[in-house]
Structure 1
Amino acid sequence: MCDAIGGGSSNKARCSDPLQNDDCCGNLTISPRPVKDVEKGYTLFEHVKLSVSGLTCVGCENKLFRSLDVIPSVRNLKTSLVLAQAEFDLDLTAGPVSDVVRSIERTTGFSCEIVKSRGQELEVIVTGDVLDFLKQTPPEGVQDMTLVNKQTVRIAYDAKKIGARDLLENCFNIAVCLAAPQPHPALAVGSRHVRSSGYVTLVSAALTIPVLVLAWAPLPSHPIVYGSTSLALATAVQFGVAGPFYPSAIKSLLFTRVIEMDLLIVLSTTAAYVFSIISFAYQVRGQPLSTEGFFQTSTLLVTLIMVGRFVSALARQKAVESISIRSLQGTKAILTGLDCGSQKEIDARLLQYGDAFLVAPESRVVTDGIVVSGTSEVDESMVTGEFQLLKKVPGSSVIAGSLNSSGPLTVQLTRLPGNNTISDIAVMVDEAKFSKPKVQDLADRVAGYFVPVVIVFAIVTFAAWIAVGKAVRHQTTTTSVVQAITYSISVLIVSCPCAIGLAVPMVIVIAGGVAAKHGVIFKSAGTIETARNAVHVVFDKTGTLTQGRLKVLTAEYPLGSQDSISSAVLGLTSNIKHPVSIAISKYLKSCGTSPADVSGVKTVSGKGVEGTWHGASIRAGNSGWVHVEHSPHVESILSQALTAFCVTKDDELVAVFGLEDSLRPDASVVVSELIRRGIEVSIVSGDDHGPVRSFAAKLGIPSSHFKSRCSPEDKQHYIKDLVGSGGKTILFCGDGTNDAVALAEASIGVHMNGGTDVAQSAADVVLVRPSLTGILTLMDLSRASYRRIVFNFIWAFAYNIVAILLAAGAFVHARIPPQYAGLGEIVSVVPVILIALQLKWAKFD
């Protein structure tokens, strides 16, 4: 139903491509690569994301990867089995994206859909002629209109040029209504796969049950009639249900040289089906084989394979959905005027810039905004992991997905749904899911050799049982061959490389979602793999160990002229966003100072700021940089363990400010816990020696483990020396631009929330909430994830070894009959998924 609206959305990767924008370094948004002029020697790249239907096992992912990897125009390729997606950069000078999609669909048999991420998107149902609707001139701000199905059109638009409601109400001459909301492509593809697998499994079961009844029920003896009926049903199962496995297996062999799980299914089910026909033929001739009817084996085998795939797909999908951060996005909004007048509930997708919405008690904030009226307490734990109610008053910011407590709030929208905090976090989490830790390489290699080894083992089993039947049991050749076939079929089908292939990615996917809900976002799977090995944690001071909210306690002007110097200092610092400059500006403004005109203002990272005032050079920063550390005025301030902000005019000290900062509430607890765990802790800071030494003493950090007056290069060298030739795992935590090189140099760079975009792009981990406990969470989650990966590997290998031996008849009194071997995928894969899912309930802080 719809309402008419109108009528009439580890090792760090280094950027080797100079044409790539900052998004390749891990910023929150993903956008196409910039368009360049080919005639001037540039290559035209576009960032492409494909949603792929048909990925069921690690062999399928390998086939997809190889099919894309051989295309010369594809660069920076990443695939994800769990997300059912591929992501890459495409050289458009070699051909459009549509050519790549057609090539992949032809060589793999998968169906692909391009996932677009530009601007906002709406899906609408056209009540009239959809072709006429698509032919009309699109309104200003509309970027693209794409036909989704017979009556549904996806509209991409620039929300800064036109709002969603304005677009639908006034811009089209054919009536449209908003289509039902669709899940994110990563979830939608999985849902479609689960549904299709369920339908096919039901059909297979419906065809198999009569065969089982005819074979096992105590019915009157009519073997030929029953056999003919069973042959017809088994044929329908073999070609209607198992039929799609044939082209998939053949295409893998022909186009990508991959021997995958589908080939095992084809070999085993075909052997069972063909042997059923042979057995029935002998029965028609009046010479039944010792196995008698065999159609129940082939049909039950296919059905149980489908049941296994359905249960595995369902478990995998539910696991991904359960940790999806996008589930926090509200679907309805109560639109209201800023004067809290009329109210109207609308679909959240119809919000547009300039709107204000009401957040009722016990309801979620639909998107990011600023409170304009009302007072309440809000629980942001589902997004930030901060398990406490935060007071919100007019002027406070609220984030999407947070839960309002007692009082109604009127919120001025600042970001639209689909482009808010939830989507930012979700994009970063999804990026991590595309990455693979080193241990995944081992799993992929093992899985790659697994199927050929199983085929060889099945052949050996076949030969061995013929020999046993003839030489030991003295059976006829026919009986020996029949027995050998049943054992070989069991070996082929009971083996399952899927458990090996999923052992790592399932844990990484769950870990990413769990970390996000604890306020920790990691950008690569390698981070989760290595964080447990951290032996040394290095902290920046200001804004990391401290709250970064400095206040001026004292100010001295050695040469007098306080008014003119303070005006110059305000002019120098008023537009600088460093915490010290912010504190100085705030202090001077509170004293009634007006800024002087200072020209050529520029910051010197990690040192200070400089400019020109009345023809003189004016510099402000730490005492070492401006060379006044031995001034009595400076020494007096430093002796009080205050941060000294020194100002010189033509290299002469004209002002010095003493600033005080305070430790974060959790800094002592986190540092103490790190030391208790045997992890060394250091501080590197651009601040003077006195305050750095004071904070180190409060935290119990020895004098050998802190450095003051550090430039960005000093911090980088300090980290580099710690890493050393042995490749120790060093974690650095910072928040500012001057920390970017240290963040990049460290084994794991952790960025504190509230820092700059430069620092975020260099970091491996972003702490969404300003709390150092995220470092402990990261390490604990890494340790818990590693244990589960190890368990999954042990289980996958143990299952396959035992199951194959049972299927091959290695144990005298126990074996797995071929008709039940199809349950192997459930037995092997589901425990892997459940063990990974246990991370949801683990305690990390």
Structure 2
Amino acid sequence: MPAEFDLDVSAQSVDGVIRHLERTTEFKCERVTNRGSSLDLLYPGDAADIIKGEWPSGVTDIRAVDKRTIRIEFDAKVIGARDLVQNGWPHPMKLAPPSADPTLYAGARHVRHVGYLTLLSILLTIPVLVLSWAPFPNKEKKETTFASVSLALATLVQVIVAGPFYPKALKALVFSRVIEMDLLIVLSTTAAYVFSVVAFGYLVTHQALSTGQFFETSTLLVTLIMVGRFIAALARQKAVESISIRSLQTSFATLVLPNGDEEEIDTRLLQYGDVFRVSPESRVPTDGTVISGTSEIDESMLTGESRPVVKSKGSQLIAGSINGSGVLTVKLTRIPGDNTISTIASMVDEAKLTKPKIQEIADQVATYFVPVVVSLTIIVFCIWLAIGITIQQKSASEATIQSITYAITVLIVSCPCAIGLAVPMVIVVATGVAAENGVVFKSADAIEIAWKTTDVVFDKTGTLTQGKLSVAESEILDSSVGTKALLLGLVKDSKHPVSIAVATHLKSQGVSATAISDPKNVIGKGVEGAFAGRTLRAGNSRWLGLTDHASVQPILSRGYTVFCFTVNGKLAAAFGLQDSMREDALSTVVKLQERNIAVHVLSGDDDGAVRAVIAQFSIPSANIRSRCTPAEKQAYIKDLLSKTSTQGSKRKQKQPIVMFCGDGTNDAVALAQASIGVHMNGGTDVAKSAADVVLMRPSVAGILVAMAVSRKSMHRIAFNFGWSFVYNVFAILLAAGAFVHARIPPEFAGLGELVSVLPVVAAGILLKWVKI
């Protein structure tokens, strides 16, 4: 299980921390660096020679993976992977066989380890069960021999299989002051084993106890615990494999050489500047821009969009998507180690590693669970001791033995594993299910609270609308200064949708950009720069103080977004831009309102443009704000969070959960302020998002998916907690003899492990097939 820490290297070195962790926990630590791209190479000589020798430019770290393999970390913008392999070393080297997804590899290794221990435990337990339960002839005469064999086999199980539980439980108790679930397993298996050893001692001295030995109890308990853990580990691994995003990465790519020839290479050897060809019905090896060809691309595995998307010259391709019948020539934009697949996979991994707040409840329950069970065990022992002596009229020794068997059964039947699996099993599956539907949760907290959303706040441009603005009206007031060329030079590098629309419009007219000195983006306002001593500004009319200008007012009155350009404070040009509504925006807003979720719209756009779009929705005027700066958006959301929400027919008050949905442009502050920040994304630039949720397809309906996944996940977790509680209460009462005529014999108490764990595992796995 991976963990994340912040390390103060001035207080302790990395190696020192690793040694401390290995000494105080049961975990083995491996140092993994992430300084850019990495490549595993096969070196024919001694790896130490390479590590100690002179490194090529761009290489940041080299370390030995095994006797023949070295791992090289490098800056892909300084030296490409292919150049590194072919020209970077005095001796020729080859790529090592591709390593598996590290998450899948670590999980598979854990499953194998648990599987081997489980198999060993089964092989050692079966003879003990046969010797204890099989009706051998003259069994009484051979009882000592049978018991000796059982003792030997049970000891092997206790030492080899159950042995790892001891250091883990004791280290947690001693070093971390934490009572872990494994402590209960240690207590129960040890109690059953020690009691049987004592009973064996009495047998050898010809003073056999009435209960006899039950070595089968300790061995069967350990075996069933291992079987339960193996099933849980295997189920978790299968769930992770089924939702692995990295598996979409293809192994080979067709490289187009400068002379036009083609060469098939390992995808890992692609580097910046490469051009590759995508054949019909093949998978796109990495992100890129189409430079020739036309085809339809299936992006459903990443974006959730079932319809193929037509791609032609200038279109962006996403790694892992599947080409249709056409042939595409593509210019690489992101290398395989840093493309959409790897970025999404990293975010999904990050979400799986985070803990929702509800996990704290499970951890707290686990902390109290062991002391409570131990206390109940002592109480059960005392009660049955009193009953045996006073009511059943048994001797003190017989009553003590009976009390011990009841107490041991209570210890054995109490199963904490279901509580430990209740949350993480569901979170693992939920993150994958959401990713398959085009929604990437970057934190488990978002999964926990999304279903309780009370308010959804939308940005307008790029969220409710397509964000593909076009110039509908333009007016050049001063052409003497080369207005169009100056404006294009000022805005051509801006990524804001309005600037992009104006730049596209000017380029379509054949305008050539004038070089502008140091243009700067002013967040929420526009762009400014200088040329030949003149101050240039382009942006919204409010920032430039031109809202009431005679040339601006008519454009505003027609509901357009107004973009103004000034030279030394004087209006030189004004543009009216229009946008189109997203197809699913109206239906999404209606569904939210049907669920009594308040919908709000915040926009930095002009009031007329905002009202023209929002007129199609039934959103109260009080919930609409135009001409908002980033700070005003933040303040609005902060105000929503400070209010108590009243919803539903029963007018029940609850703490607001505010979801803000924006396209990431000028929305960073609002995304951070909201309870859940949702970033609208086209699928190719997810790395820059600081939101809690990323919508991989340009569809606001993704927030409904996020809420649905959240709701179903929390229902599964609630079921898991409920089942764990019901099972443990009923099983402990049954084991303690509370039902008088019905009890669980000690030798069968371990079966409770499977009874408790299997429903929890099933509840998590079945989430994958639930319709979202």
Tell me the TM-score normalised to structure 1 length: 0.84
Deviations 1:440-469 (A, max 9, x none): 222211111111111111111222222222
Corresponding residue of 1:665: 583
Deviations 1:361-407 (A, max 9, x none): 33322222233444322111111111211122343322122122333
Distance 1:784 1:717 in 2: 32
Matched-pair contact (CA < 8 Å) for 1:740–1:759: no
**Change in CA separation of 1:553 and 1:801 when aligned onto 2, cut-off 3 Å:** same
**Change in CA separation of 1:508 and 1:602 when aligned onto 2, cut-off 3 Å:** same
Report the Cα offset of residue 695 of structure 1: 0.5
Of residues 399, 405, 417, the one that matches 1:498 is 417
Matched-pair contact (CA < 8 Å) for 1:461–1:488: yes
Of residues 224, 238, 250, the one that matches 2:144 is 224
1:790 aligns with 2:718: yes
Corresponding residue of 2:38: 121
1:248 aligns with 2:168: yes
Distance 1:410 1:561 in 2: 41
Corresponding residue of 1:701: 619
**Change in CA separation of 1:483 and 1:405 when aligned onto 2, cut-off 3 Å:** farther
1:776 aligns with 2:696: no
1:830 aligns with 2:758: yes
Report the Cα offset of residue 198 of structure 1: 1.0
Corresponding residue of 1:584: 502
Of residues 460, 482, 485, the one that matches 1:567 is 485
Distance 1:299 1:167 in 2: 55
Distance 1:169 1:573 in 2: 42
Partner amino acid for 2:3?
Answer: A
The 3-state SS of whatever aligns with 1:820 is helix
Corresponding residue of 2:634: 716
* Aligned-pair Cα RMSD in Å: 2.7
Matched-pair contact (CA < 8 Å) for 1:301–1:818: no
**Change in CA separation of 1:408 and 1:242 when aligned onto 2, cut-off 3 Å:** same
**Change in CA separation of 1:291 and 1:378 when aligned onto 2, cut-off 3 Å:** same
Distance 1:282 1:333 in 2: 73
1:635 aligns with 2:553: yes
Partner amino acid for 1:143?
Answer: T
Of residues 359, 376, 382, the one that matches 1:457 is 376
Matched-pair contact (CA < 8 Å) for 2:224–2:754: no
Distance 2:743 2:691 in 1: 53
1:382 aligns with 2:288: no
Q: Which runs of 5+ in 2 are unaligned?
A: 645-654
Of residues 604, 607, 619, the one that matches 1:686 is 604
Report the Cα offset of residue 421 of structure 1: 0.6
**Change in CA separation of 1:680 and 1:243 when aligned onto 2, cut-off 3 Å:** closer
Alignment of 1:615-630 (within 5 A): 615-630=533-548
The 3-state SS of whatever aligns with 1:114 is coil
Greater Cα offset, 426-435 or 790-799 = 426-435
The 3-state SS of whatever aligns with 2:5 is strand
Deviations 1:156-200 (A, max 9, x none): 333334444444455456676544433333332222221111111
The 3-state SS of whatever aligns with 2:336 is coil
Alignment of 1:502-651 (within 5 A): 502-558=421-477, 561=479, 564-596=482-514, 598-599=516-517, 601-612=519-530, 615-651=533-569
Distance 1:170 1:792 in 2: 57
Corresponding residue of 2:75: 158
Question: Following superposition, which runs of at least 4 residues in structure 1 exceed 6 angstroms of deviation?
Answer: 755-759
1:808 aligns with 2:736: yes
Matched-pair contact (CA < 8 Å) for 1:319–1:833: no
**Change in CA separation of 1:374 and 1:567 when aligned onto 2, cut-off 3 Å:** closer
**Change in CA separation of 1:126 and 1:464 when aligned onto 2, cut-off 3 Å:** farther
1:93 aligns with 2:10: yes
Distance 1:192 1:405 in 2: 37
Deviations 1:311-358 (A, max 9, x none): 2222222222222222222234344546764443x4433333444444
Corresponding residue of 1:80: none
- Paired residues, what number? 759
Report the Cα offset of residue 843 of structure 1: 2.9
Deviations 1:553-581 (A, max 9, x none): 222245x5467333333333333222222
**Change in CA separation of 1:798 and 1:343 when aligned onto 2, cut-off 3 Å:** same
Distance 2:95 2:713 in 1: 42
Corresponding residue of 2:247: 327
Distance 2:84 2:484 in 1: 52
Deviations 1:533-553 (A, max 9, x none): 222222222222211222222
Matched-pair contact (CA < 8 Å) for 2:303–2:683: no
Distance 2:663 2:525 in 1: 15
Distance 1:283 1:454 in 2: 31
Partner amino acid for 2:233?
Answer: A
The 3-state SS of whatever aligns with 1:352 is coil
Of residues 282, 292, 302, the one that matches 1:363 is 282
Corresponding residue of 1:16: none
Matched-pair contact (CA < 8 Å) for 2:679–2:689: no
Distance 2:377 2:418 in 1: 20
Greater Cα offset, 88-97 or 150-159 = 150-159
Corresponding residue of 1:435: 354
Distance 1:161 1:229 in 2: 67
Distance 1:283 1:673 in 2: 73
Matched-pair contact (CA < 8 Å) for 2:289–2:331: yes
Matched-pair contact (CA < 8 Å) for 1:315–1:830: no
Distance 1:577 1:171 in 2: 37
**Change in CA separation of 1:599 and 1:103 when aligned onto 2, cut-off 3 Å:** closer
Tell me the TM-score normalised to structure 2 length: 0.91
Q: Percent identity?
A: 59
Partner amino acid for 2:577?
Answer: L
Deviations 1:31-83 (A, max 9, x none): xxxxxxxxxxxxxxxxxxxxxxxxxxxxxxxxxxxxxxxxxxxxxxxxxxxxx
Partner amino acid for 2:316?
Answer: S
Corresponding residue of 1:192: 109
Alignment of 1:199-218 (within 5 A): 199-218=116-135
Of residues 307, 324, 328, the one that matches 2:227 is 307
Report the Cα offset of residue 598 of structure 1: 4.9
Distance 1:334 1:613 in 2: 46
Distance 1:176 1:615 in 2: 57
Deviations 1:119-145 (A, max 9, x none): 233334555555556555444443333
Corresponding residue of 1:286: 206
Deviations 1:580-615 (A, max 9, x none): 222222222333334446556433322233344555
Greater Cα offset, 822-831 or 385-394 = 822-831
Partner amino acid for 1:257?
Answer: R
Q: Which runs of 5+ in 1 are unaligned?
A: 1-83
Matched-pair contact (CA < 8 Å) for 2:42–2:70: yes
Corresponding residue of 1:76: none
Matched-pair contact (CA < 8 Å) for 1:304–1:820: no
Partner amino acid for 2:586?
Answer: S
Partner amino acid for 2:616?
Answer: K
Corresponding residue of 1:265: 185
Distance 2:50 2:567 in 1: 68
Partner amino acid for 1:359?
Answer: V
Matched-pair contact (CA < 8 Å) for 2:318–2:684: no
Matched-pair contact (CA < 8 Å) for 1:338–1:410: no
Greater Cα offset, 518-527 or 94-103 = 518-527
Of residues 362, 366, 381, the one that matches 1:447 is 366
**Change in CA separation of 1:127 and 1:821 when aligned onto 2, cut-off 3 Å:** farther
Distance 1:175 1:459 in 2: 70
Distance 1:140 1:621 in 2: 43
**Change in CA separation of 1:348 and 1:615 when aligned onto 2, cut-off 3 Å:** closer
Alignment of 1:331-346 (within 5 A): 331-337=251-257, 341-344=261-264, 346=265
Matched-pair contact (CA < 8 Å) for 1:133–1:174: no
The 3-state SS of whatever aligns with 2:697 is coil
